[in-house]
Amino acid sequence: MSDVSELLLVQRFDADRGWFDFEVEKQDDGSEVHYAAKRFGLLRDDVSTGMDQLPAERILELIAAFKQKSLVADNEAQTKLRVAGRQILYQQLAEAYAFGLACFSSIYNREHLTTVLSQHDLGKQAKALTSTGSYNKWNAITALLYGRWVNTDTDAPIADGEHEGIANRAYRRDRSAEKYGCVLATLEGSKVSRPLTKSAVADSVRQWDCLAG
């Protein structure tokens, strides 16, 4: 790999741990749990200090937790509280942003993230993520968080973790969510919040008209 391409890849995986506003929760036994995004269980330890890694198994756990906790809860809330629907979306994107920053917090996460992408039939995104060309790395994140497995015979959705036993399956991205990749890229590029807070990110996301509709 050339020095130029190596530099480009390092720049794609250089999110700073200092960008997070970690939340502390005290346990009954007196210990403390430090969260980077509490609702779906993203921990401070998931955000690399540079040398440590976020394993593929942990990335898969976080994707499933985001879908089962954040997306399900928000879909239910938006049904009941239509007026607050946009704010719910902004907060959700702040969590997606935190997940992505954790994935991009170390060059050593590159192999694990591309493995997860390939496991989701997202080989094109995996290849683009590690190429030397121009690519919005956040498209890979939104494809993972907002897609779903389906049975190609019935078009019925398949729960995460249950797809491996089904031969006729496919992973389908949520095309309506692809615009979020542009929003998240702009957030990182503008270095909107240091440290990262859900309210600050949500306030910044609100300004993009591409979320409308």
- What are the pLDDT digits (tens) for 166-201? 778 889 988 888 888 888 888 777 655 455 556 666
Residue-averaged pLDDT of the chain: 82
Q: Kindly state the percentage of the chain with pLDDT values over 70.
A: 77
The vertex-210 CA angle with 146 and 47, nearest 5°, equals 45
Chain centre to alpha carbon of residue 46: 13
Token pair in block for residue 72: 């399900």
Q: What is the pLDDT of residue 1?
A: 41
Cα–Cα distance measured from residue 186 to residue 190, given in angstroms and rounded to the nearest whole number: 6
State the pLDDT at residue 54. Answer: 94
Of 91-95, 124-128, 144-148, 152-156, which gets the smallest average pLDDT? 152-156
Task: Please answer whether residues 121 and 163 qualify as being in contact, where contact means their C-beta atoms are separated by less than 8 angstroms.
Answer: no
Is pLDDT at 212 greater than 50 in this prediction?
no
Mean pLDDT (whole number) for 52-74: 93
Residue with tokens 């959705």: 157
List pLDDT tens digits, range 6-57.
666 677 888 877 777 788 999 999 999 999 999 999 999 999 887 889 999 9
Q: What is the pTM of this model?
A: 0.85
Tokens 């995460």, residue? Answer: 160
CA dist 167 and 179 (Å) reads: 31
Is the previous residue joined to 195 through a cis bond, with omega within 30 degrees of 0?
A: yes
What is the b/e burial string over 167-204, where b = at least 16 CB atoms within 10 angstroms of the residue's CB? Answer: eebbbebeeeeeebbbbbbbbbeeebbeebbbebbbeb
The answer to whether residues 69 and 102 touch, using CB atoms and an 8 Å cutoff, is no
Per-residue pLDDT, averaged over 103-127, amounts to 93
